[in-house]
Amino acid sequence: MKGIRAAFGGICPSCGETVLAFSGDQDAVADAMIAWQDAMGSEGKLGMQSRGSEHIPFED
Q: What 3 state SS string does 1-60 have? A: CCCEEEEEEEECCCCCCEEEEEEECHHHHHHHHHHHHHHHCCCCCCEEECCCCCEEECCC
Residue 27's pLDDT is 94
pTM: 0.68
Distances in Å between the alpha carbon of 24 and those of 1, 6, 8, 44?
10, 7, 12, 18
Dist CA 18 CA 12 (whole Å)? 6
Residue 60's pLDDT is 61
At 3-60, the pLDDT tens digits run: 999 999 988 877 788 888 899 999 999 999 899 899 988 888 777 878 887 878 887 6
